[in-house]
Amino acid sequence: MIHQEPISVKCLDGVELRGMLLLPAEPKAIVQFNGGTGAKKEFYLPFLTFLAEHGYACCLWDYRGSGESAPQNMKNCAYSFLDYGTKDMPAVKKYLETRFPTLPYLIVGHSVGGQQVGFMDNLENVKGMLGFAVSTGYLAYMPLAYRLLSAYFFYLFSPVSAAVNGYVAAKRFGIMEDLPTKVVKQWRAWCAKPDYFFNEQFYGKSVPAGKFKQYNFPVHVFWTSDDPISNQDSIRVYWNQVENQDITSIQKIEPADYDQKKIGHFGFFKKSMRDKLWHEALRKLDLFLV
């Protein structure tokens, strides 16, 4: 029986993050799950429930300015995209380590949830990281149709929505969760560069160097051949910037091998992936504990 417990995590700057714990009766490790940008956190609930059923205590939470962690007045929300990695992720880790001091610590990240792990200032004692679609987000690497869709979101929809609402009101249109204007502006600026936030315009300047050259835990990354964002080019560019004292393994997935017509950027977490990919991910997490 998996127990769900709502939690509130306070960041160093006073911002409160809302989330939940999925607790098995006798957890063997704690998993900090960092979701994708603007993704509804409940979308990941089936996958994390599966991990909890196999002994992993899991933390699912919303970034500041999004979902249940959004302020009542989004117009006055000055949060940045960088805050996800420099403020939110470290606060969640500190909370979980305080709550579960004896459990081995693992990180699972989807998209930005893996991208920004290197900005965390408290990566000590991490046993391993499992990533899904963790790459740069350079627009020109995307297939034309998706590139046009992304350009519409960044350069037309978002500026107009921000001008009208004071924030990017995407939820009502079924695009994603609502986001603070500054989050989308910074996201757009990074996506305009092949090497994303590692570009010399940002890295070491508006973006801290972080610990991307100092990973001291094993990493395994899944990506799928039909993902318009995390494709062969964007995966390669991102992981060429990360230096790992342990092992980084990158696994390409073909949808047909998993009995899927498509997986894309989000399909890893569909229930239809349980019998194959989810068990594969579980085995990777188990190996981190050996």
What confidence tens digit (pLDDT) does each residue in 179-209 have? 999 999 999 999 999 999 999 999 999 999 9
Cβ atoms of 150 and 139 within 8 Å: the answer is yes
How far is 169 from 166, CA to CA, in rounded Å? 9
Q: What is the pLDDT along the chain (290 residues), one digit of tens a residue?
A: 899 999 999 999 999 999 999 999 999 999 999 999 999 999 999 999 999 999 999 999 999 999 999 999 999 899 999 999 999 999 999 999 999 999 999 999 999 999 999 999 999 999 999 999 999 999 999 999 999 999 999 999 999 999 999 999 999 999 999 999 999 999 999 999 999 999 999 999 999 999 999 999 999 999 999 999 999 999 999 999 999 989 999 999 999 999 999 999 999 999 999 999 999 999 999 999 99
CATH superfamily of 3-288: Alpha/Beta hydrolase fold, catalytic domain (3.40.50.1820)
Q: Tokens representing 66?
A: 């999004």
How far is 176 from 215, CA to CA, in rounded Å? 31
Q: For the purposes of burial, counting CB atoms within 10 Å of the CB of 240, is it exposed (0-12), middle (13-18) or buried (19 or more)? A: exposed
Q: Name residue, tokens 């994708």.
A: 36
What pTM does this model have?
0.97
259: left (phi over 0), alpha (psi -120 to 50) or beta: left
How far is 216 from 202, CA to CA, in rounded Å? 24
Give residue limits of the domains in the chain.
3-288
Strands (E), the chain: 3-10, 16-23, 29-34, 56-61, 105-110, 126-132, 219-224, 248-253
Cβ atoms of 88 and 17 within 8 Å: the answer is yes
Rg (CA), the chain: 18
